Each structure stands twice: as structure tokens, then as C-alpha cells.
Amino acid sequence: MKNRIVVSLVLSMLSMSPAIAQEDVPQEGVKVGKMSVLRKLVPTGALEGQAAQQYLQTMQDAQSKKALAPDNNPQVIRLRAIAKKIIPYALPWNDRAKDWKWEVNLLGSSQINAYCMPGGKIAFYTGILDTLKLTDDEVAIVMGHEIAHALREHGAERAGKSIAANLLVKGAALFAEYKGYDGRMVAGAGSAGANLAMLKFSRDDESEADVVGLDIAARAGYDPRAGVALWQKMGYVNKNSPPKWLSTHPAGTDRINEIRKHFPEVLPLYAKAKNVDLASLPPYKSNVKVIPDVR
């Protein structure tokens, strides 16, 4: 019973942290609130410097294995062209982003993966392009999502939450020992609860990145409805995903529903970027026959 109380205390204190926030976000388009102040527990720019070094090392390793696509690779040219259109619309989300040294590279790997490190270091794997047969709109959705993680400083936020959780668990263990209970058992129970809380925060980060990414892509002239087709494609190749409550990513159906919920906010941005009337937008057509048109 006492262990459950400690776990509940840790979870409740962690869940309060997103309410303490800073930085405004664009007023037009999607609304996601402000960034958690817990990211401030990590020194400003610390993760960006570490990310730049790690990214450089990753690119050097890939080059030594002939897995780094050259600048004249058609897919590299394509990715960088999409990034060039997207990045200007990413800058309003984070004042630091205008000073980032943005990079986009392509790695030869069967992994269905892409990422944007803190500081604007973007990498795509050939596996995600080839396996999912991504259209330009779908690439923009993936890229917008990954850029959104960096813009919203989710890495620093998670690091800050981890620091806070560890401090809370240690504090609870010390308090338990002071009261005559087994501090190690309390610490173990508290750590388990904190780990589950961090998984939930990661799922929240993924959902927020989806929404911010839709906004950025739509402003750049990419159809946000491609997000639905993208996750339907993902569903075909990711049938053995872990249970939702133990995954850092929202379930596919939940993700699609959340994307659809924000169509009223992002479709006008897309129509404006294409200079067409919202009512005249044709449905989004996937390049895979089993994926239905998205309206």
C-alpha cells in the first residue's frame, strides 16, 4: 500500500510539470500549448552540441561503409528540396532554430526510420523511403514530425523529466527510511512508476510532434492529409507493434484519429499555400492502391 502511494506521488508530481511552461507558439494553425520548463534542467544548447558531434560521427561511419548517399543522389536532392521548403515555416516555433546549422542526409539502411536531432540535424534511411514508397507529401509529414521534436526540445524535456523523476524517487526512498520502511523497495517501486510515466510522456511528445509537423508541412504546401495515408502504410508493415501502454508511440488508429482531428486547423493553411479555395481541394491520393483516398 505504501509503495502504491509513493508511485502515485511520483506520477502526480511528474504529470504537473507540463503545466509550467515558457515560449509562445504561432497563433494561426494548430494549438499545442507551451513547452515544459523541465527542459531548463538541461543547460541550453548542451544537447545541440552533443547531437552535432554524434551526427558527424554517424555520417563519418556511414561514409566509411559506403552507406552515406552522395550530394548528387536523386533522393538526397529530393529530401533537401523538401527541407528547404519546410524549414522557414519551422523557425517561428523556436527562436533558437534560426541559428541552427541545418543538415539533411540519407543513409543506406533497411531501417524504417528518420530523425532530426537537436540543432536541426536531419537523417533519413533508405528503408523508410523504399519500403513505404513515400510521396513528397508523405516525406514532408515525416520530416515535419521529426523537426517538431527538435523544435519543441523534446530531448531536453525528457532529460529534465528523468532528472526530476530520479530526484523524486531518491527523496521518497530517504523519507521512507526516515519513517522506518525499506527505502530500496520504495525506490524500486517508485522507479517502475516513473518509467511508466516517462513512456506516457514520450507518447505525448509523439502526438505533439505529429500536430506541429502537420502545421509546418501544410504551410510549406504539402498536403497534411498525407499523414493519414502514411500511418495506414505504417500499419501494413508494423503489424507486430508492442501494446499501446508499453510503447513510446501512440497506436496507429489513435494517431490517425488525432491527425484527422486537426484537419480543420491545417487544411486552410495548405489551401492558402496552394492558392486555392479550401472547398475545391481534391482528396489526397496515395500511390499505393490499398490506401483509400483521404478527404
Could you list the active site residues? Answer: 146
- Residues 6 or more apart whose Cβ sits within 8 Å of residue 135: 226, 286, 287
| Strands 103-107 and 121-125, sheet pairing | parallel
Whole-Å CA distances, 88 to 21, 216, 255:
24, 9, 26
Return the half-sphere exposure (C-beta side, CA atoms, 13 A cut-off) of residue 276.
11
Closest listed residue to residue 147, CA positions, set 207, 210, 99: 210
**DSSP secondary structure code for residue 293 in this structure:** P
Which residues make beta-bridge pairs with 107?
Answer: 68, 125
- Residues 6 or more apart whose Cβ sits within 8 Å of residue 100: 48, 119, 120
